[in-house]
Amino acid sequence: MTLAPCAHLLWQQRPRGAAGNHAASGNPRFAWLEADRPVPVREDGRMPHRQRLAALGVDRLIDAHTHWFPENVMRKIWGYFHRHNWPIAYEMAPERRLDWLLNNGVRHFTTLNYAHRPAMAAWLNEWSAEFAARTPQAIPFGTFYPEAGVADYVRTAIEEYGLRGFKLHVRVGAMALTDRLLRPAFEQVEAAGLPMVLHIGTAPEPGEFTAPRFLHGLLAAHPRLRVVIAHMGGWEFEEYLGLAERNPRVFLDTTMVFVGFNACDPFPPALLPRLAGIGEQVLFGSDYPIIPYPLSHAVEGILDLPLPDGVKRGILGANAARLFGVTVQPGDGGADGPHGPQPVTP
pLDDT tens-digit series, residues 3-61: 433 333 333 434 444 443 344 445 667 889 887 766 888 888 889 999 999 999 998 89
User: Closest Cα to residue 108, out of 339, 346, 343?
Assistant: 339
**How many degrees, rounded to 5, is the angle at CA 201 between CA 200 and CA 204?**
115
The mean of the pLDDT values for the chain is 87
CB 302 within 8 A of CB 267: no
Q: What pLDDT is recorded for position 205? A: 87
Q: Return the domain boundaries, the chain.
A: 61-335
Q: Please tell me the pTM assigned to this model.
A: 0.89
CB 62 within 8 A of CB 314: no
CB 227 within 8 A of CB 250: yes
Residue 73 predicted with pLDDT over 80? yes
Residue 99 predicted with pLDDT over 70? yes
Residue 106 predicted with pLDDT over 80? yes
Please report which residue ranges of the chain form alpha helices under DSSP H.
7-12, 49-56, 71-84, 94-103, 121-133, 150-159, 170-173, 183-192, 212-221, 237-246, 272-277, 295-303, 309-313, 319-324
Q: Mean of the pLDDT values across residues 191-212?
A: 93
Q: Mean of the pLDDT values across residues 188-207?
A: 94
- Per-residue pLDDT of 233-282, as tens digits, reads 999 999 999 999 999 999 999 999 999 998 999 999 999 999 999 999 99
Identify the three-state secondary structure at position 11: helix
Residue 344 predicted with pLDDT over 80? no
- Per-residue pLDDT of 300-342, as tens digits, reads 999 999 999 999 999 999 999 999 999 755 434 333 333 333 3
Determine the Cα–Cα distance for residues 346 and 295; give it in Å rounded to an integer. Answer: 13
Of 1 and 209, more confident: 209
If you ran DSSP here, which 8-state letter would residue 266 be given?
Answer: P
Q: What pLDDT is recorded for position 220? A: 97
Q: What pLDDT is recorded for position 334? A: 38
Determine the Cα–Cα distance for residues 171 and 276; give it in Å rounded to an integer. Answer: 29
Options 2.102.10.10, 3.30.450.70, 3.20.20.140, 3.40.50.300; CATH of 61-335:
3.20.20.140
CB 154 within 8 A of CB 185: yes
Q: What pLDDT is recorded for position 17? A: 41
> Please, is 71 exposed, middle or buried when counting C-beta atoms within 10 Å of its C-beta (0-12, 13-18, 19+)?
exposed
